[in-house]
Chains A and B, each alone.
Chain A
Amino acid sequence: MIISLIRRDVRRGLTGAAWLPIAFFLLVATLVPFAIGPDARLLGRIGAGALWIAALTAALLPIERLVEPDRADGVLDQLALHGVAEESVAFAKIIAHWLTFAPLLLVAAVPASALLAMDGESLLRTEVALAVGTPALAALAIAVAAVTAGLPRAGALAGLLLLPLAVPLLIFGAADAMALEAAVSLLLTAGAPFVSAAAIRASRT
């Protein structure tokens, strides 16, 4: 049952605009050399941090289509009637969102690192950090999408909610503190299904 939910959300993610956050990620990475100037040493030093900022802003883009369409269309209600717990729905959505978002992001980080004049070692460290941190980004995106579903101007509100919560991921990810990054990622990923489920239940009228 969870599998069929994941499959449904992955299909919806891919037929939607899965490339849009990735294009945005590359665009932000492109802006950095324009803003900082072509100093390769300086770019190389700030590259990892710039990639993290690009990843965080890209994670905001799909939020409005993660939960709200299913709420508005009655799909969340029907799942409840079929005995599927809201926690399971949120868990499936987190996995599906990670699958449509993270692998593409990890691939896009390669050309982005070239734009930022990062060396191979620094790219590898950032890739590992992104791989560890993206489950938490996906989990935060679902939780924030569930909390803001049905609200007016949900997109802007979602940014205000998500970015502060993602700060620990950003700090430990960019500083290459992998144990702490993994701990924060685990905490956010494990907590998000329960937050999302409570938000879905509370939004029922």
Chain B
Amino acid sequence: MSNVASLASAVSLLRFEGVTLRRGGRLLFENLDLTVNAGERLQLTGPNGTGKSSLLRLAAGLLRQERGRIERAPLALADEHVALDRERPLIAALGFWSGFGGSNERLEFALNTLDLAGLIPIPVRLLSAGQLKRATLARVVGTGAPLWLLDEPLNGLDRGGLDDLEELLDWHTAQGGAVVAASHLVLPGDWRQLEVGH
């Protein structure tokens, strides 16, 4: 964790310079400049289909921009794909990912915060939609990446899940991590807003 904290607050974890993205012939945004510094939270807003999720996938490096430059710190992405082996117990499915340079202490912290500790022997396929959302968040925490990209993080979460998410976000940004989240709902805490598509 010290490696995250040692990033001074002015360090940018994500930087877009003049980025243009076109998908299926449609221009989603043009000449976008964007900087996310350590400790910051950025919320992407805008109606459906304006390119919030595409911007996140572009930031993650899963899509290619048409023009411009993107620099990114190590990052973790939580979108609608759970990416956990459905037949395996939750702890083993999460452990597969934290095995790639993450840490077990982080994962344990995430499981406790997200109220998943009691579910770790349960196969992933038996979890409910809300529990899967929590498990996806736990996977993100377990990677130890300083930049989190969250696509609609509130989908499926109950009131308690919202509080747990807020606790995780506070913990992460306090250590110098940064979060970019796409959501049309009000997210817990203070967020810088960016309306995509304008």
Binding site for B on A (CB under 8 A): 1, 4, 8, 12, 15, 72-75, 77-78, 80-84, 204-205
Contacts and interface: CB of A to CB of B under 8 A. Distances in A.
A73 B83 contact: yes
A8 B87 CA distance: 11
Interface SS majority for chain B: loop
Contact of B62 (A1, A4, A77, A82): A77
Contacts of B77: 77-78, 81
A74 B86 CA distance: 12
Contacts of B83: 73-75, 77-78
B183 to A, nearest CB: 19
B118 interface: no
A75 B85 CA distance: 9
Contacts of A8: 85, 96
Contact of B97 (A72, A78, A204): A78
Contacts, number: 49
A72 B86 CA distance: 12
A204 B100 contact: no
A192 B83 CA distance: 24
Interface residues of B, number: 24
Contact of A81 (B63, B75, B84): B75
A84 B86 CA distance: 21
A73 B81 contact: yes
Contacts of B143: 82
Interface of B: 23, 60-63, 75-77, 79-87, 96-97, 99-101, 139, 143
Contacts of B101: 82
Majority DSSP secondary structure for residues of A touching B: helix
B86 to A, nearest CB: 8
B96 A74 contact: no
A83 B101 CA distance: 11
Given A8-B96, A73-B82, A82-B100, 13 more contacts: A1-B100, A4-B96, A4-B99, A15-B87, A73-B84, A74-B81, A74-B83, A75-B81, A77-B83, A81-B75, A83-B100, A84-B100, A204-B63
13 contacts: A8-B85, A12-B85, A15-B87, A73-B86, A77-B83, A78-B77, A78-B81, A78-B83, A80-B62, A81-B75, A82-B143, A205-B23, A205-B63
Contacts of A78: 77, 81, 83, 97, 139
Nearest to A71: B81
